[in-house]
Amino acid sequence: MLVDKPFKWTSFDAVNKIKSMLRHRLGLKKIKIGHAGTLDPLATGLLIICTGKATKEIIQYQGLDKTYTGTFILGQVTPSFDLETIPEKNSPFLHITPEKIDEAMQQLSGEQKQLPPIYSAKKIRGERAYHYARQGRETELKTNDIRIISLEATRVDLPEVDFRVTCSKGTYIRALARDLGDLLGCGAYLSALRRTHIGDYSVDDAMGMEAVIREFDQFR
């Protein structure tokens, strides 16, 4: 199933909702179900959800390149690199030109090692990294080997920079905001994010959760 994940839903919220409807609407006592790539609660867009025997294929979908659109805000940072936490540390940004932004984005393209956000679902000694962050506990994350296939600014209206990025599995767009802000010397955070493609699968072909619920309601 191609699902357009709503704002403020976790990926597991969507999976659990569909699992519950499969069990109750279709009378299935047990059903395997999973998704092929987590989206943060503050992001929207394409989730590939597999059920039954198709769950064996999840790993092949997880490995596909992904495309996102969104907005970076220059001149401030947040501990989570997005709006899960409060923006802070105002820095000058009006001197930054579109040309400087394009140059920084080119520097961020290609193969690289990326340090994930501490506010992430990465596991550290069996515990999610965000648990450490929210409790103020210090810890270290290992870098991911990633590839930024393309990264471009689609609109610049400072402090806002709209962008489109196609990247490999394991890329954190929030961390990309951090790295862009560091290169520009003014800080940056991610204020909006939408996943539009996973490989050749498009969010244009996905169903919103309200439509999914209506489909399952036919089986009452």
Give the active site residues: 40
Between the alpha carbon of residue 164 and those of residues 83, 136, 140, the distances in Å are: 19, 33, 29
Residue-wise burial string across 112-130, b where 16 or more C-beta atoms lie within 10 A, e elsewhere: eebebbbbbebebeeeebb
Q: Which pair of tokens denotes residue 44?
A: 């929207």
**Structural contact between residues 159 and 149, judged by C-beta atoms closer than 8 angstroms:** no
Residue-wise burial string across 79-98, b where 16 or more C-beta atoms lie within 10 A, e elsewhere: bbbbebeebeeeeebeebee
160-167 and 144-157 as β-strands: parallel, antiparallel, unpaired?
Answer: antiparallel
CA angle 36, 44, 52 (to 5 degrees): 30
Chain mean position to CA 193: 7
CA distance 84 to 81: 8
Label residue 26 exposed, middle or buried (CB < 10 Å: 0-12, 13-18, 19+): exposed
